[in-house]
Amino acid sequence: MPIKNATLLFVIFCCGPGIDSFDCALLRRTLVRLNRIAAIYQPILLNNLNRNNYSLYFRRMTEDFAFDVEQCLNVLNKGGIMLYPTDTIWGIGCDATNAIAVEKIIALKQRPAIKSFVVLTASERDVLQYTASPDLAVFDYLQAAGKPTTVIYEHAVGLADNVLASDGSVAIRICNDEFCRNIIKRFRKPIVSTSANVSGMLSPRNFSEIDQAIRNGVDYVVKYKQDDFSLSAASAIISWKNGEIQVIRP
Task: Give 154-210 pLDDT, tens digit per residue.
Answer: 999 999 999 999 999 999 999 999 999 999 999 999 999 999 999 999 999 999 999
Q: How far from the centroid of its chain's Cα atoms is residue 244's Cα?
A: 27
Q: Report in angstroms the alpha-carbon separations of 63 from 1, 124, 179.
A: 7, 30, 13
Is 94 in contact with 79 (CB distance < 8 Å)? Answer: yes
- Per residue in 135-163, pLDDT (tens digit) is 999 999 999 998 999 999 999 999 999 99
Q: What is the pLDDT of residue 166?
A: 95
Is 155 in contact with 131 (CB distance < 8 Å)? Answer: yes
Burial class (CB in 10 A: 0-12, 13-18, 19+), 15: middle
Domain boundaries in the chain?
Answer: 5-49, 67-249
Q: How many CA atoms, within 13 angstroms, populate the side-chain half-sphere of residue 180?
A: 27
Residue predicted with more confidence, 47 or 249: 249
Whether the predicted pLDDT of 215 surpasses 70: yes
- Per residue in 67-83, pLDDT (tens digit) is 999 999 999 999 999 99
Query: Which amino acid belongs to residue 211?
Result: D
| Least trusted range by pLDDT, from 55-69, 109-123, 214-228 | 55-69
Distance CA 161, CA 144 (A): 31
Class of domain 67-249 as given by CATH:
alpha beta
What mean pLDDT, rounded, does the chain reach?
A: 84
3-state secondary structure the chain: CCCCHHHHHHHHHHHCCCCCCCCHHHHHHHHHHCHHHHHHHHHHHHHCCCHHHHHHHHHHHHHHHHHHHHHHHHHHHCCCCEEECCCCCCEEECECCCHHHHHHHHHHHCCCCCCCCEEEECCHHHHHHHECCCCCHHHHHHHHCCCCEEEEECCECCCCHHHCCCCCCEEEEECCCHHHHHHHHHHCCCEEEEECCCCCCCCCCCHHHCCHHHHHHCCEECCCCCCCCCCCCCCEEEEEECCEEEEEEC
Q: How many residues does the chain have?
A: 250
Distance CA 132, CA 125 (A): 12
Highest mean pLDDT among 27-41, 167-181, 234-248: 167-181
